Structure 1
Amino acid sequence: MTDFLAALLLGIIEGITEFLPISSTGHLLIAERWLGHRSDLFNIAIQAGAILAVVLIYRERLWQLADSFLHPGKAQPVHGQPPRDYAIKLAVAFGVTAVLGVIVKKLGFELPEEVAPVAWALVIGAVWMVVAEQLAAKRALTLGERATITWTVAILVGVAQVVAGVFPGTSRSASTIFVALLFGVTDRKAATEFAFLVGIPTMFAATGYELLDVARDGGLAGEDWGSLAVAFVASALTAFAAVKWLLRYIQTHTFTVFAVYRVILGVALLLLVPAR
Structure 2
Amino acid sequence: MSDLLSALLLGILEGLTEFLPISSTGHLLISQHWLGARSDFFNIVIQAGAILAVTLAFRERLWTLANGLDQRENRDYVMKLGVAFLVTALVGLPVRLAGWQLPETVTPIAWAVLIGGVWMLVAERLASRLPDSETVTWKVAIAVGLAQVIAGVFPGTSRSAAAIFLAMLLGLTRRAAAAEFVFLVGIPTMFAASGYAFMELARDGALGSENWGEVGVAFAAAVVTGFIVVKWLLDYIKRRPFTGFALYRIALGIGLLLFLPAGN
- TM-score in same-fold range (> 0.5): yes
Q: Which moved more, 1:129-138 or 1:176-185?
A: 129-138
Please identify runs of 4+ aligned residues in structure 1 that moved more than 4 A: none
Tell me the equivalent position of 2:106: 115
1:89-238 to structure 2, matched below 5 A, reads: 89-139=80-130, 143=131, 145-238=132-225
Q: CA-atom RMSD, angstroms?
A: 1.0
1:123, distance to aligned residue in structure 2 (A): 1.2
Pair 1:88 & 2:75 matched = no
Please list every run of 5 or more consecutive structure 2 residues that lacks an aligned counterpart in the other structure: none
Structure 1 unaligned blocks of 5 or more: 76-80
Offset, 1:218: 1.1
Q: CA deviation at 1:113?
A: 1.8
Look up the SS of the partner of 1:146 in the other structure: coil
Instruction: Tell me the amino acid that sits aligned with residue 119 of structure 2.
Output: W
Report the CA distance between 1:138 and its aligned residue: 1.2
TM-score, normalisation: structure 1: 0.93
Per the alignment, in what secondary structure is the counterpart of residue 184 of structure 1? coil
Work out the CA distance in 2 between the residues paired with 1:34 and 1:47. Answer: 20
Cα shift at 1:189: 0.4
Q: CA deviation at 1:107?
A: 2.2
Q: For 1:217-270, what per-residue CA distance to the aligned partner results, in whole angstroms no more than 9, with x for missing partners?
A: 111112100010000000111111111111111011000000000000000110
Distance 1:101 1:125 in 2: 20
Aligned residues: 263
Query: Does 2:259 align with 1:267?
Result: no
Is 1:11 matched up with 2:7? no
Partner AA of 1:119 in structure 2: A
Q: Secondary structure at the match of 2:207?
A: coil
Give the TM-score of the pair, scaled to structure 2. 0.97
Aligned counterparts of 1:68 and 1:6: Cα–Cα separation in 2: 44
SS in 2 for 1:7: helix
Q: Secondary structure at the match of 1:133?
A: helix
What is the rounded CA distance, in whole Å, between the counterparts of 1:38 and 1:159 in structure 2?
Answer: 28
Taking the aligned partners of 1:26 and 1:133, their CA distance within structure 2 comes to 22
Matched residue, 1:42: 42
